[in-house]
Amino acid sequence: MVIRSQIAGCGSYLPQRIVTNHDLEKHVDTTDAWIVERSGIRQRHVAAEGENTSDLAFEAAKAALANAGISADELDLIILATATPDHTFPATAARVQARLGMTRGFAFDLQAVCSGFIYALATADNFIKAGQVKTALVIGAETFSRILDWNDRGTCVLFGDGAGAVVLKAGEGQGTSADRGILSSHLHSDGRHYDLLYVDGGPSSTKSTGFVRMKGNEVFRHAVVNMAEVVGEALVANGLTSSDIDWVVPHQANIRILEGTAKKLAIAKERMVITVERHANTSAASIPLALAEAVADGRIKKGQLLLLEAMGGGFTWGACLVRY
Ligand code: UT7
């Protein structure tokens, strides 16, 4: 018998306001045609004034707890993956913990930008496997609209706001890939690429928040290679092949990265959950948003094998194989 972290529920939240590519055409030198052709994005949700990352995270958390049929006082741990916290400190997770009415256990933020949800899932899984935690809430929540330079057409058209969450519960398995739960997670980073995707501000360097800066085409080049490599690593570790995967739930940065990865792995595009056209890149929120959507509409079913994968600033990248 081995301990397995099993997904007991998922939830998500998107701010009400939708900004289309045509809306952006009025503010920056861009076109709907360019954005769709280069990224696959057609629209993004943007948080209202006064609506913060903790508000988005709280809504997604409530939905995930309801879906799991548990209350917040059953949680031992909250990990909130975000690069856009409400404040420099305390952790936005602490705010969510208080709003949920959870007064025991512990809560913290985790920062791995667009790979944040994969890193958070792996971290929660390890707490569960170590026996320290029985029930964990893992959230990815972002308000990237607050760190975009709305005059920089190379970045402002690509990102959106949103949140997604999953409840993990300790269960048992036989130690095979037929077990329900997280089968394995694979994390990587390479800090030599820090300057290809970063925010040009921060409390220690500039005492300001700063804006996203990206050398998009160089990030793109690394993304397809890193994704394919880490997915291969996850499959080999479990004695599986890409034909065993029922659904790929990828980080949603660019439709061309998703198509490139699908091609490299010989996985049909129809087996990918794709939300990038409606959500744009919501960083740490994109995977749990896509997961919650495909679970809610019945595409993802109990017992199916899911591959979650992401790449982001740092660079960071990683993958998790999960039997839902
Ligand atoms: O989530 C974390 C990871 N992030 C990513 O994975 C993002 C990865 N990168 C990308 O998705 C793509 O590189 C972009 C969508 C950002 C850009 O696509 P690209 O095909 O790599 O274009 P490019 O950056 O090479 O730029 C091509 C041209 C440039 O003009 P010149 O120099 O060729 O005259 C840009 O100035 O497109 C221009 N351009 C735009 N034109 C219209 C850049 N942004 C825009 C824009 N509208 N919004």
pLDDT tens digit string along 247-274? 999 999 999 999 998 998 899 999 999 9
Q: Does the pLDDT of residue 230 top 90, yes or no?
A: yes
Mutate to test the pocket of ligand 1, among 115, 158, 220 (most ligand atoms within 8 A of CB): 220
CATH domain 2-173 topology: Peroxisomal Thiolase; Chain A, domain 1 (3.40.47)
What residues does ligand 1 touch, defined as CB less than 6 Å away? 30, 34-35, 38-39, 114, 153-154, 157-158, 216-217, 219-220, 223, 253-254, 257, 281, 311-312
Which pTM does this prediction carry? 0.98
pLDDT tens readout for residues 74-94: 999 999 999 999 999 999 999
Is residue 45 annotated as part of the catalytic site, yes or no? no
The CATH superfamily assigned to 181-323 is: Thiolase/Chalcone synthase (3.40.47.10)
Q: Is 281 a catalytic residue?
A: yes
Peptide bond into 85 cis (omega under 30): no
Nearest to 281 by CA among 110, 173, 155: 155
Catalytic residue among 156, 251, 254, 279: 251
Partners of residue 297 on adjacent β-strands: none
Distance 89 CA to ligand 1 centre (A): 33
Q: Which of 45, 52, 114, 320 is catalytic?
A: 114
- The pair of structure tokens assigned to 43 is 């629209």
Going from the Cα of 221 to the center of ligand 1, the distance in angstroms, rounded, reads: 12
Catalytic residue flag (residue 188):
no
CA 264 – CA 250 distance, rounded (Å): 14
DSSP reduced 3-state for 64 = helix
For residues 149 and 211, the answer to whether their CB atoms sit within 8 Å is yes
Q: Residue 42 and residue 47: Cα distance in Å, rounded?
A: 17
- Over the stretch 135-173, which tens digit does the pLDDT of each residue have? 999 999 999 999 999 999 999 999 999 999 999 999 999
Query: Where, residue-wise, is CATH 3.40.47.10 in the chain?
Result: 2-173, 181-323
Helical spans, DSSP H, in the chain: 21-25, 32-39, 53-68, 92-100, 116-129, 153-156, 216-237, 255-265, 276-279, 286-296
Q: Which of 172, 167, 147 is nearest to 158 (CA)?
A: 147
